[in-house]
Amino acid sequence: MKMPFSMPDEFASGWIKAGFNFWRSLPLSNDTHSTRKTLTQASADYWRQQAALYTSVFTGMTGMKSASQPVIEAPQGDRRFNADDWSSNGWYSLVKQNYLINARMLEDMVEASTLVDKEKHKLRFYTRQFIDLASPTNCAATNPDVIRHAIESSGTSLVSGATRLLEDMKDGCISITDRGAFEVGRSVAASEGSVVFENELFQLIQYTPLTATVAQRPLLIVPPCINKFYILDLQPDNSFVRFACEQGLTVFLVSWRNPDESMSHTLWDDYVESGVMKAIEVSRSITRVDKVNALGWCVGGTLLSSALAVMRANGDNTVASATLLTALLDFSEPGDLGVFIDEAGVSMREHTIGRGGLYPGRELGFVFQTLRANDLIWPYVVNNYLKGKTPAAFDLLYWNADTTNLPGPMYAWYLRNMYLENNLRVPNRLTMCGTPVDLGRIDIPAYLLATEEDHIVPWRSAYQSTQLLGGQTEFVLGASGHIAGVINPASKNKRSYWTGGVPGGDAEQWLEGATRQTGSWWNHWIRWIKQHAGDDVKARTTLGNAKHKPIEPAPGRYVKVRAS
């Protein structure tokens, strides 16, 4: 039985591999001169900074206050050391700077190692995990905020923190938001609509029109099956679903079922055929149109592209355009997620759950948290357990904690054929639903959004989709990351995005020629999608049709099932 707070197998084994690779890669007698020079320089920098630090502290110390400029500063955007004590108090300044100097030395040693790029990426990732873990902010005895809270509360903050730790250990996860602050269907996922179709894989939601007229062709949204769909429908002011409806689109959305044991033998092909392709068919049937526009986010974009490749190979042209949001089709550079993927790990998954079983959503959720540990793990360890605070109510983090399981066969196939072997990009190498697939056959217009700071789908990798799809592509680069870069409401008009770069195989060349636009990419996308949405028609007063009658109000039952 898996113990509470235990790490996924990929993550635990990664720590061991990282340590082995580090010592294996240290320069030996036959290493190059440049490697030796790099390591020598790193060592010299380390001892120089240490000497400067201790000289500064002990010569400038007056009442334990540091009087000189720091030897090293935390990286820009690092909020761990924002408290005044980290700079005004000589002891805490010493602790902080000593930590940062040691962290820098470890990073320099990694860069000086002789590993190949992929192995060095893994070593870099796991070294960063160790550095983040070892931060003095994570220890009660070396965190001035924690000590102050304990004194001011007469120790009750420590008692509250211990209580929260025991509660989270019982639940098997770290609380990152107030779980009672939101309710699916009321405070989030509250856009009005009806479930108009369901099968064993998904429910199809049709949303109520918000305009007197709508575009003739509807929009079908395919969200990732590794998360709940309502990231696209959090609250009215940041709901992409509501925005699309307000702009005169008829919106259908796939709400994937949270798999239980009855789905333990479900395949990738099932998600393609009985999921995406079925949703396209039903959406067309209800609206009685020739074509629909389809949008897929993350894994939803990979599933949508797979379905379109099958459909086009079979002569089906019932999709007018495709929008892919932070989605990978070429997995040659998968970012930090790639550190978890190797032949041994994938084979283990195939052996344990590849022929039947479930991959727990909490394990997958923890993997994603480790990609941003200083945002999604350690701040909550400090606030929840060391300070005894209740996590803030934040809709996006509530969604992030609402995990979903995955069918083992589907997950194992996805790992091998996408992340490990990168087969989807090769024409006709994969067969789905009995049909060899070639992304080049997808000859419809495509809108491709990537985000600048995406740690799950690196934007340069997402750009490669422009070279794989057979139709005209519009590539857009948004600011921020995988979630915040997509959920950038038009009404707030924040951030920026880049458009109009020179088409071609080089992402950097595209960026050099691109133009920065202020505000949300939503406004740019809605102008693009309306070119493919047909004429305006009178909005439908009833949802569904005679064959597909409303089953229940949105958001439906499936999205409310929590992973066990």
Distance CA(254)–CA(276), nearest Å, equals 8
> Is 245 among the catalytic positions?
no
* 41 Cβ neighbours under 8 A, 6+ residues apart: 108
Strands 496-499 and 515-518: antiparallel
Strands 406-407 and 358-359: antiparallel
**What are the distances in angstroms from CA 98 to CA 47, 88, 184?**
11, 15, 46
Strands 446-451 and 473-478: parallel
Provide the 10 A C-beta neighbour count for residue 459: 21
* 421 Cβ neighbours under 8 A, 6+ residues apart: none
Instruction: Return the HEC string of 70-124.
Output: CCCCCCCCCCCCCCCHHHHCHHHHHHHHHHHHHHHHHHHHHHHCCCCHHHHHHHH
Distance CA(49)–CA(40), nearest Å, equals 14
Q: Which of 225, 245, 298, 433 is catalytic?
A: 298
What value, to the nearest 5°, has the Cα angle with vertex 475 and ends 236 and 479? 55
| Cβ–Cβ < 8 Å for 467, 505 | yes
| Catalytic sites, residue numbers | 298
